[in-house]
Structure 1
Amino acid sequence: MNNSLFAASAADLTIERIRALAARPDQVESLTLEFKREYSKSMVKTIAAMANTYGGMILVGVNDKVEPGVERVVGVDAQEEIDKIASGCREKFDPPWEPTFIPVPFNDGTGRSVVVIRVDANVAPRPLLIDLQAPIRLSGQNSIADRDRLLKLAREEPSGGVLHMGQNVMSPNLERDREGNCTADFILRTGFNLPMGEAASWRPLSERAVTDLAQALNNSVFPDALKALGNSSFTSSTGFQQYGYNRSRTARLAYRALSRSTVPHPVEAVVTVALPEVYGTSTVAPATVTIDVISRVRRYADSLDNKVGAPGEEYRYPVPNLLDLLEGILTGTVDPQVVAEIARITDIDPALVAQPRELHLVADRQVKELLRTEFLREIPDAGPSAGGVFRANPALDLRDIADRREQVDDWIRQLGLDAGLTGMEALVEGYRARPRRKR
């Protein structure tokens, strides 16, 4: 699920974050999120339905509808609400189980709080029954599992068919020529796993759906960030289109910058959506989305006699270009239209499309030799670094521009420290202080 509050630590669950979530115009009730003004008997059924489906979160003390002049986050007496919900779970659930309750106080002297109920489908006993029936979650509402769905729940292995919160992606490798030499300066990789709807488990990819995903990527900020990586030294590209390994259950969309030099593609980006073959198996493997960015700008600059960089100097990547690249990647992955098209391909609710939580960088040399370092200082005997693995803060919602930039800034600071460089923090702060257009 893409809601950052589900994965956040209790310390990161603040009333300010909840108010910000409730104020989002695009944040409506879904498969994995529900708002409740206060306890009602139907809440226990919702908890069971989320446990039997993809998990989720219920915010108690938040009006489910936004009305002019009506406060949405109103709060409740936390202990009283938790006692009622826990009692209902004990009375109704077979086998006995209860979710996690986290009270988030207003801290304004009123004594009111929002109660966050986390329903983790990875740890819930499935099927979770109420009156010998298994509730399941549909888009923003509850239903009852039919015979086939109930049998699948009963037969699944522990955590079967449910995604873990971890969104690990495999580390990439730089391509090499026949002599074993790297053909690129670096490669960045991120991605995420997705559950699949029933139709996605058997049907081939729709040509129209793949074309629409390519169009959504081209309409996002992602291409602008790729262009900026090369200091806008190339003006044409193929845009995202099908290229290379495409099959009935794998779509590979490639963006390729174009040049007339000996390096024809200074920058490439490849977005791969892969649906596993699951027909006839007892467990459901996740679908995967992988995003690779391959940069050859340094090689491109050399082929132009350094015309991309300063005359007579070996080209190095400006840190602001990498900031813009990372921000463009993340902004593209949470773009509502991109999310909608990925959800359509996998036959799931857009609320289940995850956010990237891991980034890999593999370079052909030490990172400090790739970066423009006029504002940075090398730490003596710091040791080599040719990349790294960068984890995301699960408390950050990458749909929010401030959270997204905070995450990018953290990654860039980590990149500098791992490379044995100081001064990155001040460089980033100075860049952020400049007036910029919103993304």
Structure 2
Amino acid sequence: MNNSLFAASAADLTIERIRALAARPDQVESLTLEFKREYSKSMVKTIAAMANTYGGMILVGVNDKVEPGVERVVGVDAQEEIDKIASGCREKFDPPWEPTFIPVPFNDGTGRAVVVIRVDADVAPRPLLIDLQAPIRLSGQNSIADRDRLLKLAREDPSAGVLPMGQNIMSPNLERDREGYLTADFILRTGFNLPMGEAGAWRPLSERTVAALAQALNNSAFPAALRTLGHGSFSSAMGFQQHGYNRSRTARLVYRALSNSSVPHPVEAVVTVALPEVYGTSTVATATVTIDVISRVRRYVDTLEVGAPGEKYRYPVPNLLDLLEGILKTTVDPKVVSEIARITDIDPALVAQPRELHLVAGHQVKELLRTEILQEIPDAGTSAGGVFRANPSLDLRDIADRQEQVDDWIRQLGLDAGLTGMEALVESYRASARPRR
């Protein structure tokens, strides 16, 4: 689902954002998204099908086909279209129900608008019937629920119908050695939950698909982002491959920086895909993808005996900006998304974007950051990390939105650590950095 428009407030839904979405070459109709030139009787069935599956969004006033020389976002008379759709929902749905309608005007004097229809499966009465049948979505098309699917819809817990927009992941822990000492400077964790397709909920992981995910990760922005930690001073790296706890329902892919010091892995990243172990319940089976980055660069630099005696390495803020941006870029990389969707047997449109980031540090954050223009706030207290929420109205596939999210997280990191100057530091870095693709 396009989380950015689905979760955005009405005030944040602009015609510019809709045009940008429609112009994306990779944005096609899917399980959770449809474009409609204008109202048609089939639209009511699509609304019911989305409500009975994963929810979704219909943009009315947008041509569903892209043709050379033909404007895609054409607009409609919003009130007229809403009246027709609402009337059709009242007449056809059992029980009666309406989705959310949001008119987004062109603001050009024409009076035209795009009508955004949000179908929230969390609040829809499921099963939503039309002529005693329950439409559902399959691969971007409408179908009819068979007996088993209809019984599942009727038996499900209303609070467990679909995944919530806020995707929560477990906070990580720093590992300790046998003497009880922490083995890393910090650990970052992000991730998301996913629904499971019918086949994915039963079959074991395929070695081929896991290998394809590892290759997609190695070809993504992730390895380059990891090398920014420690300025790439370690000797070499081992790309993502299976390591550690791997089972028929769990894939654990590990990237490791390599060194000849007593800290053999200054930087480590672990991507874990865990499929559910319990089937046949009334709740929706969900898979979990977690992405961990473990940094031991300070400990590694200590072994090199560089700098003034007793001086500890501090992480440059720009390195953390690049790391976070690389992580988020990887989570929306089309090839990575496609392989995760293949493993879980779902439409790639259902692969969520991360909605939170965890940081757990072995020291106070202000002791880990290179101060530069940062200044401590007197008596501000201490911070060894935190939970950073994402703005659901941002589309992380967009470079500007992704950078805005990263900048927000870094600013929060500085403020929580009792530091001022982070905002100016971030702005200075963005101003000096060359444009990225």
TM-score normalised over the length of structure 2: 0.98
Tell me the equivalent position of 1:317: 315
Q: Distance in 1 between matches of 2:341 and 2:159?
A: 22
- Contact preservation (8 Å) 1:168, 1:358: yes
- Corresponding residue of 2:141: 141
Name the residue aligned to 2:327.
Answer: 329
CA contact (8 A) 2:77 2:111 kept: yes
The residue type equivalent to 1:39 in the other structure is Y
Match of 1:40 in 2: 40
The DSSP-based 3-state class of the residue aligned with 2:396 is: coil
- Name the structure 2 match of 1:58: 58
TM-score, with length taken from structure 1:
0.97
Q: Which residue of 1 aligns with 2:183?
A: 183
For residues 65 and 347 of structure 1, the distance between their equivalents in structure 2, rounded to whole angstroms, comes to 26
| 1:239 partner SS | strand
Q: Counterpart of 1:167 in structure 2: which amino acid?
A: Q
1:366 maps to 2:364: yes
The 1-side partners of 2:418 and 2:269 are apart by 28
Q: CA deviation at 1:414?
A: 0.7
AA aligned opposite 2:190: T
| Structure 1 residue 124, shift from structure 2 partner | 0.6
1:379 to 374, 377, 380: 377
Q: Deviations over 1:34-77 (max 9, x none)?
A: 00111111100000000011000000111111111211111111
CA distance in 1, matches of 2:179, 2:2: 43
The secondary structure found in structure 2 opposite 1:200 is coil
**Equivalent residue for 2:260?**
260
For 2:309 and 2:48, the matched residues in 1 are separated by 66
Residue 416 of structure 1, aligned match among 405, 414, 417? 414
Matches of 1:370 and 1:93 in 2, distance apart? 58
- Give the superposition deviation at 1:128: 0.5
| Rounded Cα–Cα distance in structure 1 between residues aligned with 2:431 and 2:308 | 25
Structure 1 CA distance for aligned equivalents of residues 315 and 160 of structure 2:
44
Preserved CA contact (<8 Å) 1:236 1:258 = yes
Secondary structure of 1:329 counterpart: helix
Alignment pair present for 1:101 and 2:101: yes
Measured after TM superposition, the shift of residue 110 of structure 1 is: 1.4
Matched, 1:68 2:83: no
Counterpart in the other structure of 1:438: 436
CA distance in 2, matches of 1:45, 1:281: 27
Query: What is the rounded CA distance, in whole Å, between the counterparts of 2:379 and 2:104 in structure 1?
Result: 46
Q: 8 Å contact 2:377–2:420 — kept in the other structure? A: yes
Amino acid in structure 1 at the alignment position of 2:248: S
The alpha carbon displacement at 1:195 in A equals 0.2
User: Which stretch shifts more, 106-115 or 214-223?
Assistant: 106-115
For 1:382, the aligned partner's letter is A
Q: Map Cα deviations across residues 8-50 of structure 1 (whole Å, 9 max, x no partner).
A: 1111111111111111000000000000111111100000000
Whether 1:81 aligns to 2:78 is no
Q: Does 1:340 align with 2:335?
A: no
SS of residue matched to 2:228: helix
1:161 and 1:297 mapped to 2: Cα distance?
44
Task: Indicate conservation of the 8 Å contact 1:278/1:284, yes or no.
Answer: no
How far apart are 1:360 and its partner, in Å?
0.5
**Aligned residue identity for 2:347:** D
Deviation at 1:310, TM superposition (A): 7.8
CA offsets 1:116-154 (integer angstroms, 9 cap, x no match)? 100011111111110111111111211111111111111
SS of 2:391's equivalent in the other structure is coil
SS at match of 1:28: coil
Pairing 1:300-315 to 2, within 5 Å after superposition: 300-306=300-306, 313-315=311-313
Measured in 2, the distance between the counterparts of 1:299 and 1:72 equals 55
| Number of residue pairs matched by the alignment | 437
Which residue does 2:399 correspond to in 1? 401
Distance 2:104 2:235 in 1: 50
Shifted more, 407-416 versus 176-185: the winner is 176-185
Gaps of 5+ in 2: none
Moved over 6 A (4+): 309-312
Partner of 1:299: 299
Read off the aligned partner of 2:238 and give its amino acid letter: T
> What is the one-letter code of the residue matched to 1:394?
P
Matches of 1:123 and 1:159, distance apart in 2: 9
Give the deviation of 1:316 after TM superposition.
0.3
Corresponding residue SS for 1:102: strand
Name the Cα RMSD after superposition.
Answer: 1.3
Q: Distance in 2 between matches of 1:387 and 1:160?
A: 31
The unaligned stretches of length 5 or more in structure 1 are: none
Aligned twin of 1:354 = 352
Residue 226 of structure 2: SS of its match in structure 1? helix
Aligned to 2:215: 215
Question: Which digits, 9 at most, give the CA deviation of each residue in 1:63-106, with x for residues without a partner?
Answer: 11111121111111111111110000000000100101111111
Q: Distance in 2 between matches of 1:127 and 1:366?
A: 51
Structure 1 residue 314, shift from structure 2 partner: 2.1
- Kindly, what percent of the aligned residue pairs are identical? 89
